[in-house]
Amino acid sequence: MLNIHKVAEEAGVSVATVSRVINNQGTVAKKTQEKVEKVISRLNYEPNMLGRNLRNSESRLIMVLVPTISNPFYAQIVQGIEDIVRKENYNVFLCTTDSEPEREKVFLDYVRQKLTDGVIFMDPAVEVEMLQDLANRYPVIQCCEYNEDLNIPYISIDDTQASYKAVKHLITMGHEKIAIINSDETFQYARNRKKGYLKALEEYGLPIKDEWILKNSELNFEAGQNSMRKLLRADDKPTAIFAVSDILAIGALKRMNEEGLQAPEDIAVVGFDNIPFASMTNPALTTIAQPMYEIGSQAAKMLFQKINTPDEPVSSTLLDNELIIRESTLG
């Protein structure tokens, strides 16, 4: 059986020396290291890294919990996380939860079992008490979605301010009848973006109608289409729409096209996130740009700070956002 003892025997060195070479400890003479590496290569020996990591009480894995991988928004965040994680010689363990608490409990048990060294959390469905209890004992960072009442560091943007900015843009373009296509208000971002929407309308004394406030349990193109269908059937149709996600906004634009309507001539549309598809729609979508890659990379850096210096506090951060104005509101 090929194992570290066989490598040591073939190289004429101790098992400890082979172990130091494998772990890049730098305490082995150059000639000896080269000899051991040649034997490893000749025998095609693959060290049991999992066993080594468990003996060192580390997994070299970072868990990333996301609600879904179908939304391109998460892809850029995960890329930012992964680039930092790899620099630290770790790997990403990506878990999709579908916002189901039972699935989240299973994944979080992996952290308790030390199968991962920390977790970056992007899903709100888990029980608050469970998340706080986990963070009291293990490294946890909230990313995008967060509860500021918890004593857990987070990184995100100011969703209320960003959505206020988006709706104010529609108001300055002359719109007074503005609807919102929202997602599931279980998510804090959905609640905050609705708050920004209402703040802008109230500040300018514009009407707020229940039939112009749509909520969706799913965040996908079909939800955007269905919401637009309802708005087009309203007795008093809006002239502009703020969608809390580009996915919803693009679905709304598709439904408008099917009805023979154009943005912004018939109805102006603003999205949120600035996913790659936002600039490819016809017309191109006005949207709020989040620094998605930077959110991910900063989340990973915060987590490693928690892992490496657990007794030092990690500060929460809200990054800037930008309104990207395109044809769906300007024509």
Tens digit of pLDDT at every position of the chain (331 positions): 577 778 788 888 887 887 778 766 667 888 888 888 888 888 877 765 545 554 455 668 999 999 888 888 999 999 999 999 999 989 998 988 887 777 877 888 888 877 889 999 987 666 778 888 889 999 999 999 898 888 899 999 999 999 999 999 999 999 999 999 999 888 889 999 999 999 999 999 999 999 999 999 888 999 999 999 999 999 999 999 999 999 999 999 999 999 999 999 999 999 999 999 999 999 999 999 999 999 999 999 999 999 999 889 999 999 999 999 999 999 6
266 and 245 both lie in a single domain: yes
Asked if 221 contacts 259 with a C-beta cutoff of 8 angstroms, the reply is no
Q: Distance from first CA to last CA of the chain, Å, rounded?
A: 71
How far is C-alpha 151 from the geometric centre of its chain's CA atoms? 20
171 and 282 both lie in a single domain: yes
210 and 122 both lie in a single domain: no
Q: Is residue 169 part of a domain?
A: yes
Asked if 329 contacts 170 with a C-beta cutoff of 8 angstroms, the reply is yes
144 and 181 both lie in a single domain: no
CA-based nearest residue to 8, from 27, 31, 30, 32: 32
Q: Is residue 76 part of a domain?
A: yes
Neighbours of 128 (CB within 10 A): 11
174 and 273 both lie in a single domain: yes
Q: Is residue 55 part of a domain?
A: no
Q: Is residue 250 part of a domain?
A: yes
Which pLDDT score, from 0 to 100, does residue 187 have?
84
CATH number of the domain at 35, please: 1.10.260.40
From the number of C-beta atoms within 10 Å of its C-beta (0-12, 13-18, 19+), residue 219 rates as buried
Q: Is residue 52 part of a domain?
A: no
270 and 163 both lie in a single domain: yes
198 and 304 both lie in a single domain: no
Q: Which domain holds residue 134?
A: 61-157+292-319
Phi, psi dihedrals of residue 74, rounded to the nearest 5°: -75, -25
Q: Which two tokens stand for residue 163?
A: 């959505």
CATH number of the domain at 66, please: 3.40.50.2300
Asked if 118 contacts 59 with a C-beta cutoff of 8 angstroms, the reply is no
Query: What's the chain look like in SS3?
Result: CCCHHHHHHHHCCCHHHHHHHHCCCCCCCHHHHHHHHHHHHHHCCCCCHHHHHHHCCCCCEEEEEECCCCCHHHHHHHHHHHHHHHHCCCEEEEEECCCCHHHHHHHHHHHHCCCCCCEEECCCCCCHHHHHHHHHHCCEEEECCCCCCCCCCEEEECHHHHHHHHHHHHHHCCCCCEEEECCCCCCHHHHHHHHHHHHHHHHCCCCCCHHHEECCCCCCHHHHHHHHHHHHCCCCCCCEEEECCHHHHHHHHHHHHHCCCCCCCCCEEEEEECCHHHHCCCCCCEEEECCHHHHHHHHHHHHHHHHHCCCCCCCCEEECCEEECCHHHHC
168 and 118 both lie in a single domain: no
138 and 235 both lie in a single domain: no
199 and 275 both lie in a single domain: yes
How far is C-alpha 28 from the geometric centre of its chain's CA atoms? 42
